[in-house]
């Protein structure tokens, strides 16, 4: 006997009952998280645990058999965790504004839409907001894979005692946005100097002779484009929705694999996740062979260094501060011993935090 194909009404009835189950399960999950929150407030533990969140994503994405896409699963879980976390405790997060910049995108990627996100005017303002306890966390850019370090952020760590509690890796894409969405209407392009440089070749090939004007941020560019239909902005997709613009062309960057790394700062440190990084700031004694000796404690223990950066010591001419990132957590005995040895070479040393590695 031939089986009847279900009608659209029947299929929709199935979807409705699946949706009811999803909502029921979401509420069940929220109840369990509330219990976790109660346990945490009793023992003064951090509500936001980036290492646990990473573990949840990794487990779900690697086990997903499809056809539901992993990217969508990640976005949905970002919001589920964000909403559950805000039930445990409301999160206020300051970031380097204005809205619709890449710092905003990175902050949304890490904290989701249920957190209260506060755009601030400068990197020092983000540090201050967290230091004063007005925001629990702050998000600041620290390096870009094509442009290098954000020296302002590194310099702030010399004065501040805030800890790094996680890192965010954001893949940077630039879109061309305008009111009409038509390439032929564009008479001027606006953006921050960096995105203009990163899209130079695309502009020369597709909008030859059209001037590109640099402004304070991609968000300012988007605002200008929203007020003039002959202007286009190079900005993020988020800027398109916030400033009511159309995407003329997406992903116009010349270089693929353009990443910006952001740091999340807070007044408290972060617990060990098992796959961590530690950042340290130090200045070394003025002795022959010191640069070689400062690396020995790590080499002899097989501790991998992911980055070493030097910056001028502002109050002492021709002296330098080093920023070093290593793989491991400060509570790992090998890491603690290596840092103890490093102290012998240093005039001063400051641990900036141990935090889960981002992939």
Ligand X SMILES: O=C(O)C(=O)C[C@]1(C(=O)O)C=C[C@@H](O)C=C1
- In the complex, what is the shortest distance from the CB of residue 133 to ligand X, in angstroms, rounded to a whole number? 20
Residue nearest to ligand X (CB): 84
Catalytic position from the list 260, 282, 298, 322: 260
- In the complex, what is the shortest distance from the CB of residue 39 to ligand X, in angstroms, rounded to a whole number? 9
- In the complex, what is the shortest distance from the CB of residue 2 to ligand X, in angstroms, rounded to a whole number? 47
- In the complex, what is the shortest distance from the CB of residue 274 to ligand X, in angstroms, rounded to a whole number? 15
Count of alpha carbons within 13 Å of 344, Cβ hemisphere only? 11
Q: Which is nearer to ligand X, 297 or 356 (CB)?
A: 356
Q: Which is nearer to ligand X, 83 or 149 (CB)?
A: 83
- In the complex, what is the shortest distance from the CB of residue 108 to ligand X, in angstroms, rounded to a whole number? 15
Q: Which is nearer to ligand X, 54 or 179 (CB)?
A: 54
Q: Which residues contact 244 (CB under 8 A, 6 or more apart)?
A: 179, 226
Q: Which is nearer to ligand X, 47 or 313 (CB)?
A: 47
User: Residue 303: which of 333, 326, 276 has the closest Cα?
Assistant: 326
Catalytic residue list contains 327: no
Catalytic position from the list 95, 111, 127, 262: 262
Q: Which residues contact 61 (CB under 8 A, 6 or more apart)?
A: 70, 73, 74
Q: Which is nearer to ligand X, 88 or 175 (CB)?
A: 88
Residues that bind ligand X (CB under 6 A): 33, 36, 47-49, 52-53, 56, 81, 84-85, 88
Catalytic residue list contains 7: no
User: Residue 216: which of 107, 139, 121 has the closest Cα?
Assistant: 121
Q: Which two tokens stand for residue 321?
A: 């501060």
**List of E strands, 172-204:** 175-178, 188-191
Instruction: Round to whole Å and give the CA distance between 23 and 267.
Output: 35
CB-CB contact of 124 with 140 (8 Å): no
Q: Which two tokens stand for residue 194?
A: 């960096």
Radius of gyration over alpha carbons of the chain, in Å? 24
Q: Which two tokens stand for residue 17?
A: 């009952």
CB-CB contact of 117 with 108 (8 Å): yes
- In the complex, what is the shortest distance from the CB of residue 193 to ligand X, in angstroms, rounded to a whole number? 36
CB-CB contact of 156 with 123 (8 Å): yes
Q: Which is nearer to ligand X, 49 or 342 (CB)?
A: 49
Instruction: Round to whole Å and give the CA distance between 353 and 359.
Output: 18
- Catalytic center residues: 260, 262
């Amino acid at each position: 006997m031939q089986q009847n194909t279900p009608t659209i009404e029947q299929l929709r009835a199935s979807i409705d009952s699946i949706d009811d189950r999803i909502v029921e399960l979401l509420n069940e999950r929220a109840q369990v998280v509330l219990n976790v929150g109660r346990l945490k407030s009793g023992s003064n533990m951090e509500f936001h645990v980036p290492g646990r969140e990473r573990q949840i994503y990794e487990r779900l994405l690697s086990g997903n058999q499809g056809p539901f896409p992993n990217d969508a699963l990640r976005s949905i879980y970002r919001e589920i965790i964000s909403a559950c976390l805000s039930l445990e405790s409301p999160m206020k997060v300051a970031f380097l504004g204005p809205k619709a910049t890449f710092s905003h995108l990175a902050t949304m990627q890490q904290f989701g839409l249920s957190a209260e996100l506060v755009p601030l005017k400068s990197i020092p303002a983000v540090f201050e907001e967290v230091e004063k306890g007005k925001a629990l966390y702050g998000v600041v850019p620290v390096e870009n894979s094509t442009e290098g370090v954000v020296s302002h952020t590194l310099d702030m760590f010399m004065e501040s005692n805030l800890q790094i509690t996680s890192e965010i890796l954001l893949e940077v894409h630039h879109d061309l946005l305008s009111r009409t969405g038509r390439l032929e209407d564009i008479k001027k392009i606006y953006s921050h100097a960096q995105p203009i440089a990163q899209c130079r070749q695309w502009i020369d090939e597709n909008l030859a002779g059209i001037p590109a004007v640099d402004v304070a941020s991609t968000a300012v560019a988007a605002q200008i484009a929203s007020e003039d239909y002959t202007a286009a902005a190079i900005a993020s997709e988020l800027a398109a929705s916030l400033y009511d613009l159309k995407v003329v062309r997406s992903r116009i960057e010349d270089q693929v694999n353009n990443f910006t790394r952001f740091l999340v700062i807070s007044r408290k440190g972060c617990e060990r996740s098992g796959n961590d990084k530690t950042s340290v700031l130090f200045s070394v004694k003025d002795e022959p062979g010191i640069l070689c000796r400062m690396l020995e404690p790590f080499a002899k223990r097989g501790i991998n260094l992911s980055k070493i950066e030097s910056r001028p010591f502002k109050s002492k001419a021709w002296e330098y501060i080093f920023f070093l990132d290593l793989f491991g957590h400060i509570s790992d005995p090998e890491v603690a011993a290596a840092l103890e040895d490093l102290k012998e070479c240093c005039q001063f040393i400051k641990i900036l935090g141990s935090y889960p590695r981002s992939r």
